[in-house]
Protein backbone atom coordinates (compact mmCIF):
# COMPACT_ATOMS: atom_id res chain seq x y z
CA UNK A 1 0.00 0.00 0.00
CA UNK A 2 1.16 3.47 -0.87
CA UNK A 3 1.91 5.66 2.16
CA UNK A 4 0.62 8.80 0.40
CA UNK A 5 -2.76 7.12 -0.09
CA UNK A 6 -2.77 6.04 3.56
CA UNK A 7 -1.91 9.60 4.64
CA UNK A 8 -4.68 11.03 2.44
CA UNK A 9 -7.29 8.73 3.93
CA UNK A 10 -6.08 9.31 7.50
CA UNK A 11 -6.22 13.10 6.98
CA UNK A 12 -9.95 13.13 6.19
CA UNK A 13 -11.89 15.21 8.72
CA UNK A 14 -15.13 13.27 8.58
CA UNK A 15 -14.92 9.89 10.36
CA UNK A 16 -17.54 8.37 8.04
CA UNK A 17 -15.48 9.36 4.99
CA UNK A 18 -12.31 7.97 6.51
CA UNK A 19 -13.99 4.61 7.21
CA UNK A 20 -15.67 4.49 3.81
CA UNK A 21 -12.44 5.29 1.96
CA UNK A 22 -10.66 2.57 3.94
CA UNK A 23 -13.45 0.13 3.03
CA UNK A 24 -13.35 1.12 -0.65
CA UNK A 25 -9.58 0.75 -0.71
CA UNK A 26 -10.04 -2.78 0.63
CA UNK A 27 -12.61 -3.43 -2.12
CA UNK A 28 -10.01 -2.51 -4.75
CA UNK A 29 -7.34 -4.70 -3.14
CA UNK A 30 -9.71 -7.65 -2.97
CA UNK A 31 -10.74 -7.16 -6.60
CA UNK A 32 -7.21 -6.57 -7.91
CA UNK A 33 -4.62 -8.21 -5.63
CA UNK A 34 -1.73 -6.81 -7.71
CA UNK A 35 -3.11 -3.26 -7.73
CA UNK A 36 -0.72 -0.32 -7.69
CA UNK A 37 -1.65 2.80 -5.74
CA UNK A 38 -0.63 6.39 -6.21
CA UNK A 39 -1.81 9.88 -5.44
CA UNK A 40 -2.59 11.93 -8.51
CA UNK A 41 -4.56 15.18 -8.70
CA UNK A 42 -4.91 14.94 -4.89
CA UNK A 43 -6.94 11.71 -5.19
CA UNK A 44 -6.07 8.05 -4.63
CA UNK A 45 -5.71 6.28 -7.98
CA UNK A 46 -5.55 2.51 -8.35
CA UNK A 47 -3.85 1.00 -11.39
CA UNK A 48 -3.37 -2.41 -12.92
CA UNK A 49 -0.41 -2.82 -15.27
CA UNK A 50 -0.06 0.98 -15.30
CA UNK A 51 -3.64 1.57 -16.46
CA UNK A 52 -6.36 3.27 -14.42
CA UNK A 53 -8.80 0.90 -12.74
CA UNK A 54 -10.38 3.00 -9.94
CA UNK A 55 -10.19 6.43 -8.36
CA UNK A 56 -11.63 7.55 -5.03
CA UNK A 57 -12.45 11.19 -4.43
CA UNK A 58 -14.10 13.12 -1.65
CA UNK A 59 -16.19 16.25 -1.35
CA UNK A 60 -17.83 17.84 1.69
CA UNK A 61 -20.92 15.65 1.42
CA UNK A 62 -19.86 12.56 -0.53
CA UNK A 63 -17.26 10.00 -1.46
CA UNK A 64 -17.08 9.10 -5.13
CA UNK A 65 -15.88 5.72 -6.40
CA UNK A 66 -15.07 5.77 -10.12
CA UNK A 67 -14.51 2.54 -12.04
CA UNK A 68 -12.72 2.75 -15.40
CA UNK A 69 -13.08 0.48 -18.47
CA UNK A 70 -16.82 0.06 -18.04
CA UNK A 71 -17.87 0.22 -21.70
CA UNK A 72 -18.74 -3.50 -21.83
CA UNK A 73 -19.96 -3.74 -18.26
CA UNK A 74 -23.55 -3.79 -17.04
CA UNK A 75 -23.52 -1.10 -14.39
CA UNK A 76 -26.34 -0.45 -11.90
CA UNK A 77 -28.41 2.66 -12.52
CA UNK A 78 -27.09 4.46 -9.42
CA UNK A 79 -23.75 5.04 -11.24
CA UNK A 80 -23.21 8.16 -13.41
CA UNK A 81 -20.84 9.40 -16.16
CA UNK A 82 -19.89 8.32 -19.69
CA UNK A 83 -19.74 4.71 -20.83
CA UNK A 84 -15.98 4.27 -20.39
CA UNK A 85 -16.06 5.10 -16.66
CA UNK A 86 -18.81 5.10 -14.07
CA UNK A 87 -19.01 6.86 -10.73
CA UNK A 88 -20.93 5.88 -7.62
CA UNK A 89 -21.55 8.87 -5.35
CA UNK A 90 -21.94 7.75 -1.73
CA UNK A 91 -23.46 10.08 0.85
CA UNK A 92 -23.21 9.96 4.63
CA UNK A 93 -25.28 7.10 6.00
CA UNK A 94 -25.32 5.15 2.74
CA UNK A 95 -23.66 1.77 2.57
CA UNK A 96 -22.68 0.51 -0.87
CA UNK A 97 -22.84 -3.16 -1.79
CA UNK A 98 -19.14 -3.94 -1.36
CA UNK A 99 -19.44 -7.41 -2.90
CA UNK A 100 -21.06 -5.89 -5.98
CA UNK A 101 -18.26 -3.32 -6.21
CA UNK A 102 -15.63 -6.07 -5.97
CA UNK A 103 -17.30 -7.92 -8.84
CA UNK A 104 -17.57 -4.79 -10.98
CA UNK A 105 -13.92 -3.87 -10.41
CA UNK A 106 -12.76 -7.42 -11.10
CA UNK A 107 -14.64 -7.52 -14.39
CA UNK A 108 -13.71 -4.00 -15.52
CA UNK A 109 -10.01 -4.56 -14.80
CA UNK A 110 -9.83 -8.13 -16.14
CA UNK A 111 -8.41 -7.09 -19.50
CA UNK A 112 -6.03 -4.36 -18.33
Of the pLDDT bands very low, low, confident and very high (cuts 50, 70, 90), residue 54 is: very high
Mean predicted confidence (pLDDT) in 51-66: 97
Mean predicted confidence (pLDDT) in 1-30: 97
pLDDT computed for residue 81 by the predictor: 79
pLDDT at 78 over 90: no
Give the Å distances, CA to CA, from 3 to 10, 11, 38, 99.
10, 12, 9, 26
Report the C-alpha dihedral over residues 80, 43, 53, 35, rounded to 10 degrees. Answer: -150
pLDDT at 46 over 90: yes
pLDDT computed for residue 80 by the predictor: 84
Q: Which residue has the higher pLDDT, 1 or 43?
A: 43
Q: What angle do CA 70, 49, 98 make, to 5 degrees?
A: 50
Amino acid sequence: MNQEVTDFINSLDEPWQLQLCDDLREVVHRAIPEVQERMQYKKPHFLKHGKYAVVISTSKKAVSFTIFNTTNLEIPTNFDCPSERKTLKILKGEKPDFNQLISLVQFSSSNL
